[in-house]
Every structure is written in C-alpha cells, then in structure tokens.
C-alpha cells in the first residue's frame, strides 16, 4: 500500500522502488513486469514538459540505459531504466500530451513497461520505503533543490 511522504513539497510514494540519482521509479507489477517513470522531483526540475519520446516496444535495454528522452523549454535529457529488460509497452498518452508526466508522474505519466531480465538483483539495488525517503531527503537538501511546484490537476 502506498504511503505518501513529502519533502519540500516533492512527493515520494514509499511502495515504489527508486534510483534516486537518476530520478526514476520502478513498480513491480503482479504479472512480474516492471513499470518505469520519472519522479515528482524530476518532473519539477524539468519544468513544463513539452515532448517525451520513448524507445519502441521490443527494444532491449540494460540497466542505466535511456528508455525515453524528455524535453522542456529549459532542459532535455534521458530517463534511464533502473532495471534491465525488454520494453513490452509504452505509454501512448505521453506522446500525445507530455504534460501528463507533470500532472501524474507516478500514475498516468508512466513511461514504459519492461519484461525484466535480472529483476531480483537489480531491484535490490534500488531504494524503497523509508530508505528511499531518506535518500531523497539527503539529495534534496545537499543539492538545495527547489520546492516542488505542481500543475493544476496534479495527482500522486
């Protein structure tokens, strides 16, 4: 069950797994697939997202490789997958309305789903629960990241 924590207005859901340095989250689904997205901190740092392009279904990605390119008016960069696997689904809504990532980074703004190839080992390297919250708290304070602002209709 998701517990919602907030650090400088930035939402962290404790049920997800995080690669804090890369600002990505992973959720292991009941069928063993993994959904990947970017965190609330990331969407806030990016600003209003104008375009997002994901890699295609069928592409195999190693952990740490980009699964999407996201661009705002002031930033463009990759979203890296925290786990290895084959992309089995992409979020078509993101291509139509990239701002969905700003509005719903953990729900409707998911980026890709993977069929993982090394899940146990790689998920163990990610942070979840209280450790994820603390790691993000440390990062936000160390880098003095600004308070997260949320667009109208934001949902976590």
Partner 1 sequence: MDDFEGKRILVIQTHGVETPTRTYSPLFYAMAAAAMEIETMVWFTMNGTNQLKKGEAEKVQLDLSSDVTLKTMLEQTMDSEVELRVCQQSMALWNMTKEDLIDGVEVLGATSIIDLALNSDHVMYF
145 lies in the binding site for partner 1 (CB under 8 A): no
56 lies in the binding site for partner 1 (CB under 8 A): yes
Among residues 46 and 133, whose Cβ is nearest to partner 1?
46
With CB under 8 A as the contact rule, the residue among 15, 33, 69, 117 that binds partner 1 is 69
**DSSP-assigned letter for residue 142:** H
76 lies in the binding site for partner 1 (CB under 8 A): yes
Instruction: Provide the minimum distance between the beta carbon of 2 and partner 1 in the complex, in angstroms, as a whole number.
Output: 30
DSSP string, 84-105: -EEEEEE-HHHHH-TTHHHH-T
Instruction: Provide the minimum distance between the beta carbon of 69 and partner 1 in the complex, in angstroms, as a whole number.
Output: 4
| Span interacting with partner 1, options 18-26, 29-37, 48-56, 134-142, rule CB under 8 A | 48-56
Rounded-to-integer distance, Cα 77 and Cα 102, Å? 15
Sign of CA dihedral 38, 41, 46, 49: positive
Instruction: Provide the minimum distance between the beta carbon of 77 and partner 1 in the complex, in angstroms, as a whole number.
Output: 5
How far is residue 50 from each of residues 35, 62, 143, 151, measured CA to CA in Å?
Answer: 22, 27, 25, 14
Given a contact cutoff of 8 angstroms between Cβ atoms, the answer to whether 68 and 80 are in contact is no
Given a contact cutoff of 8 angstroms between Cβ atoms, the answer to whether 132 and 12 are in contact is yes
78 lies in the binding site for partner 1 (CB under 8 A): yes
Strands 76-80 and 66-72, sheet pairing: antiparallel
With CB under 8 A as the contact rule, the residue among 74, 92, 120, 124 that binds partner 1 is 74
Which residues from 99-128 bind partner 1, rule CB under 8 A?
none
Among residues 3 and 149, whose Cβ is nearest to partner 1?
149
């Amino acid at each position: 069950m998701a517990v919602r924590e907030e650090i400088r207005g930035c939402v962290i859901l404790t049920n997800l797994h995080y690669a804090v340095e890369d600002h990505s989250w992973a959720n292991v689904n009941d069928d063993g697939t993994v959904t990947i997205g970017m965190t609330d901190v990331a969407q806030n740092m990016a600003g209003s997202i104008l375009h997002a392009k994901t890699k295609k279904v069928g592409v195999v990605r190693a952990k740490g490789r980009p699964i999407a390119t996201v661009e705002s008016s002031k930033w463009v960069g990759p979203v890296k997958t925290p786990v290895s696997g084959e992309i089995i689904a992409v979020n078509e809504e993101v291509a139509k309305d990239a701002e969905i990532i700003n509005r719903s980074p953990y729900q409707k703004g998911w980026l890709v789903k993977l069929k993982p190839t090394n899940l146990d080992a790689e998920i163990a390297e990610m942070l979840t629960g209280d450790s994820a919250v603390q790691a993000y708290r440390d990062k936000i304070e160390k880098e003095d990241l600004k308070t997260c602002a949320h667009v109208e209709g934001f949902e976590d």
